[in-house]
Amino acid sequence: MARKEITKVQELIYTTRVETVMAPDVIVAHPAMSLADAKNLMRDRRISGMPVVVDGRVVGIVSMSDVIRALESGRMATRVDENMTADVTCVTVDAYVVEVVGKLGREGFGRIPVVDREGHLVGIVTTGTVMQSLLQAMDTSYKKKEEENLHRYRASHIFEDVVSDDTSLVLRFVVDDRDFTNAGTASSQIKRSLQRLGVPPALVRRVAVAVYEAEMNLVIHSDVGGEIVVDVRRERMLISAVDHGPGIENIGQVLQPGYSTAPQWIRDMGFGAGMGLANIKRCSDLMRLLSEPGVGTRLDILFLFRDNPIGVSSKSGETT
Amino acid sequence: MTTRELLEILDGTLLVNSHRDDDEFPMGGAADLMSDVLAFGMDGMVLMTGLTNPQVVRTAEMAGVGAIVFVRDKKPPPETLSLARDLGITVIRTGYTMYEACGRLYHAGLAGLGRVKIVNDSW
């Protein structure tokens, strides 16, 4: 468990940018300030050091150790720029956290100013800000799991809480034509909703595969996009993928495994092998394809929950 | 087989770590055809592929794939990695070819699916 957290931290420091672990509101000193004023500022703001800035650019760093040295030699009335460290190491906002971890840890820097590409000060990182962000990131992944448990608890009782002779839950999704970046989001949401409703994992997988194939068909072939409607009842579920696109000339042909009209660029992405409808049929309990050239296409896919009706939690056995 | 074992056997780089150290991947498979992945995908399996677009991750999600291995040192775009992170899928990159990556894992004991009849010809 401890090792897992360490690898998680390692991944985070290699993939997170400085921007997300820095404190953006930096308290700064001016070169002409007296060291006594700098000391008061640090005391009031409870910090142990700050960048010295002229016109947004870092010209040095003044810290508590500079103050202590000045106290010992009675130089508290002298200017900040006479006492500061002038040779400052900065990092850019888009650097990876691993870079500052090395400097804070191995090289013993107390704080590192963060600058943009033009060299203007935009933030500061300290061991504290880095630790806080990493802890937050780890806490977020824990919270996500807790939230998911809550969603599942609430959704799985919906069919018990809502009373009727036959309750049906209808989910509608709009699928855009040629929108490859978002292709699959409807299927992803359907999958998650079914998991939350308490549908057994093996059945969720079958539904997910079928609906994803149907969604990709809308993206690739419909020309105008379409709609996916999921009608969930306790014992069965009907998914319809509907579009008002060009329609299909020869239904018998498209039902043959391996037949495809997908263009090359679709094939280059690993799709369009002509196995979509075959996959849908294999996964579902019943599939029906209706189409008329110039009018549109409708694909109905039926799943029966058989021994695992929704909301009956005692039966959690898987059907395949 | 665990993530650590996969990395050792494939001499791989871990791009997204979504599993615990003691999580086991029960079997493996390889495909560049996404409909093949959907047809033979098994829960928690390791998928070897040469395609790196985000739809590979979507397909993996639907098929229940636990880990994706990009072969021949292909560098996936950031969208692919962030989607995998969101969906809890582990991603590894290896310099081996698809053939050799599969061979090494199979030899090390990662099972395949045996003989699978993918095409349903009962139309």
Closest CA to B53 of B83, B29, B76: B76
pLDDT at B123 over 50: no
Integer CA distances (angstroms), B45 to A39, A113, B24, B40, B67, in order: 60, 45, 9, 10, 7
Determine the pLDDT at residue A46.
92
Q: How many CA atoms lie within 13 A of A137 on its CB side?
A: 19
pLDDT at A57 over 90: yes
Structure tokens belonging to residue B122: 């009962």
Query: Which of A140, A181, A182, A212 to substitute to test the interface with B, most B CBs within 10 Å?
Result: A212
pLDDT in tens, A224-241: 999 999 999 999 999 999
What percent of chain B is predicted at pLDDT more than 70? Answer: 94
Question: Which residues does chain A have within 8 Å of residue B56's beta carbon, measured at their own beta carbons?
Answer: 270
Strands of A296-304's sheet, edge to edge? Answer: A168-175, A226-233, A236-243, A296-304, A286-292
pLDDT in tens, B46-98: 999 999 999 999 999 999 999 999 999 999 998 999 999 999 999 999 999 99
Partner B contacted by A201 (CB < 8 A): yes
Determine the pLDDT at residue A277.
93
Determine the pLDDT at residue A312.
63
Contacts with B, A 117-146, CB within 8 Å: none
Amino acid letter for position A268:
D
DSSP string covering A41-65? HHHHHT-SEEEEEETTEEEEEEEHH
What is the arithmetic mean of pLDDT over B26-54? 93
Determine the pLDDT at residue A114.
96
Q: From the list B34, B79, B87, which residue is nearest A270 (CB)?
A: B34
Partner B contacted by A209 (CB < 8 A): yes
Top-confidence residue, A34 or B123: A34
* Nearest chain B residue (CA) to A145: B88
Put simply, the answer to whether B21 touches A4 (Cβ < 8 Å) is: yes
Mean pLDDT of chain A: 89
pLDDT at B122 over 90: no
What own/partner pairs with CB < 8 Å and gap ≥ 24 does B113-122 have? B113/B27, B113/B29, B113/B40, B113/B42, B116/B39, B116/B40, B118/A275, B118/B36, B118/B39, B118/B40, B119/A257, B119/A258, B119/A275, B119/A278, B120/A257, B120/A278, B120/A281, B120/A282, B121/A257
DSSP A82: G
Top-confidence residue, B17 or B121: B17
pLDDT at A124 over 70: yes
Q: From the list A3, A188, A255, which residue is nearest B21 (CB)?
A: A3
Determine the pLDDT at residue A58.
95
What percent of chain A is predicted at pLDDT more than 70? Answer: 94
What is the arithmetic mean of pLDDT over A47-60? 94
Whether A205 contacts B43, CB under 8 Å: yes
Among the ranges given (A73-82, A130-139, A279-288), the one the predictor scored with the smallest mean pLDDT: A130-139
* Nearest chain A residue (CA) to B13: A11
Determine the pLDDT at residue A70.
93
Distance, in Å, from the CA atom of A202 to the CA atom of B57, rounded to the nearest integer, reads: 19
* Nearest chain B residue (CA) to A14: B15
Determine the pLDDT at residue B21.
82
Whether A78 contacts A35, CB under 8 Å: yes
Q: From the list A201, A276, A281, which residue is nearest B35 (CB)?
A: A276
What is the arithmetic mean of pLDDT over A58-70? 94
Top-confidence residue, A15 or B39: B39
- B→A interface, C-beta within 8 Å: 14, 16-17, 20-21, 32-36, 38-39, 41, 43, 49, 51, 53-56, 58-59, 61-64, 79, 87, 118-121, 123
Q: How far is A235 from chain B (nearest CA, A)?
A: 22
Integer CA distances (angstroms), B91 to A69, B38, B56, in order: 52, 18, 11
Determine the pLDDT at residue B117.
66
pLDDT in tens, A142-181: 788 888 888 888 888 888 888 899 999 999 999 998 888 8
pLDDT in tens, A281-320: 999 999 999 999 999 999 999 999 988 888 765 444 444 3
Put simply, the answer to whether B55 touches A184 (Cβ < 8 Å) is: yes
pLDDT at B100 over 90: yes
Q: Mark out the alpha helices in B34-113 (DSSP H runs).
A: 34-40, 54-63, 78-87, 98-107
Mean pLDDT of chain B: 91
If residue A303 lies in a helix (H) or strand (E), which one and from where to where?
Answer: strand A296-304
ipTM of the complex: 0.88
Q: Count the helix, strand and coil residues of chain B and give each as a percent rounded to the nearest 5.
A: 35, 15, 45
pLDDT at A191 over 70: yes
Determine the pLDDT at residue A134.
82
Q: What's the whole-model pTM score?
A: 0.69
Structure tokens belonging to residue B73: 């040192």
Determine the pLDDT at residue A136.
81
Whether A140 contacts A70, CB under 8 Å: no
Q: How far is A278 from chain B (nearest CA, A)?
A: 6
Determine the pLDDT at residue B37.
92
A144-A150-A155-A156 Cα dihedral, nearest 10 degrees = 110
Determine the pLDDT at residue B62.
95
